[in-house]
Structure formats: C-alpha cells, structure tokens
Amino acid sequence: MNVSNYILPLIVVFIVGYALQKKVNVYDTFIEGAKESFDMIVSMFPSLLAMIFGVNIFIKSGILKGLLKAMNPFLSFFHIPSDIIPMALIRPISGSSSLALLNHIFEKFTPDSYIGRLASILQGSTDTTFYILTLYFGSVGIKKIKHAMWAGLAADLAGFIASIVLVQLFF
C-alpha cells in the first residue's frame, strides 16, 4: 500500500468535511476562489511572459557559449565542470529549465557521477530568485526589489559555492 497516493484525496475529503460541518456552501466557495485566482493569473501574466522571453533570448543568443569559453580557465583551475554552469546560471531564473538541465546532466553523466551529485546539490541549495521577484513581487505591485534581488543572488551564489565544496569534500 502506497500511502502517498491517498494523502491528497484525504486532505480534500477533510476540507470538504470540515466545511460541511461549519455549514459552508463548498461549491459556491470553490467557484468564488476560482474567480479570484483567474484575476490573479491575469495580473501575473505580463511578468511571467517577460521572464520567459528573457530566458529564451539568453539561451538562444549564444551568450552562454561565449561565457563558458571565457570562464574555462577559471573553471578548470577549481575543478568545476563547465557543464554545470548553464544550470547554475539558469537556476535563479527558471526552476523548470534548471530541472531540464539536471535531467540532461543525469542522462549524459549519471546521477552518481561527480557532476550529477554537484547538480543535485545545486538544485536543492539554490532558488529561483528572478522567478520569485518577477512573479510574486510583480503580482502584488512591489516595485523596489533591489535589496531582495541582491540578497537572493547572494544566497544563490552561496548555494553554488557550498555545492562545489560539499561535493569535493564528500565525493
């Protein structure tokens, strides 16, 4: 028996049961919430579109290849595989893109390889900083994001450095 298959349905049953006990019209409340979420999606769409557009320009322009070529002496000095850099650069922008790169690394090198472990720790120790700033800050109308952006990017850099140190120490 796989308990995880039953958790979400049990949560839904609990919520509906609780609402019925409190004499809340579950269907009308659900429809009202769905209407509110539609307005929120419409307000977030421009920010999300701009972020997706920026990521695609960055990936398709060839800037990444030139950047990797320029960084190669530095990377080889610190024994950092150049295949991890696209993931480290994309991770603060897009979680799904970084997951696709993680999958590519797993297919090319295997999860138990040095770079597979490095990519796994990088994925878990960094966040989608620009996604958070664009989507969440933009949806509530926060315009002054400079300090939050630098704090998020510093945390991402710390996560990247910690990933390298941990993999070199333990693997």
pLDDT tens track for 80-99: 898 898 899 889 888 888 88
What pLDDT digit, counting tens, does each position of 44-71 carry? Answer: 788 778 777 877 787 788 887 888 889 8
DSSP annotation of 140: T
In a domain, 10, yes or no: no
In a domain, 87, yes or no: yes
- In percent, the amount of the chain with pLDDT more than 90 equals 32
Mean pLDDT of 10-31: 90
d(CA 100, CA 117): 15
DSSP annotation of 134: I
Apex CA 146: angle with CA 140 and CA 152, to 5°? Answer: 85
Residue/partner pairs of 74-82 with CB below 8 Å, 24 or more apart: 78/164, 79/168, 80/164, 81/114, 81/115, 81/118
Which has more confidence, 52 or 31? 31
Mean pLDDT of 98-124: 93
* Distant-in-sequence, close-in-space partners of 52: CB < 8 Å, separation ≥ 6: 94
- Give the pLDDT confidence score for residue 35 in this predicted structure: 85
In a domain, 136, yes or no: yes
In a domain, 134, yes or no: yes
d(CA 52, CA 20): 42
Q: Domain range holding 57?
A: 44-170
pLDDT grade for 1, boundaries at 50, 70 and 90:
low
- Give the pLDDT confidence score for residue 116 in this predicted structure: 94
In a domain, 4, yes or no: no
Mean pLDDT of 94-121: 91
Which has more confidence, 114 or 52? 114
Cβ–Cβ < 8 Å for 159, 113: no
In a domain, 15, yes or no: no
Domain count, the chain: 1
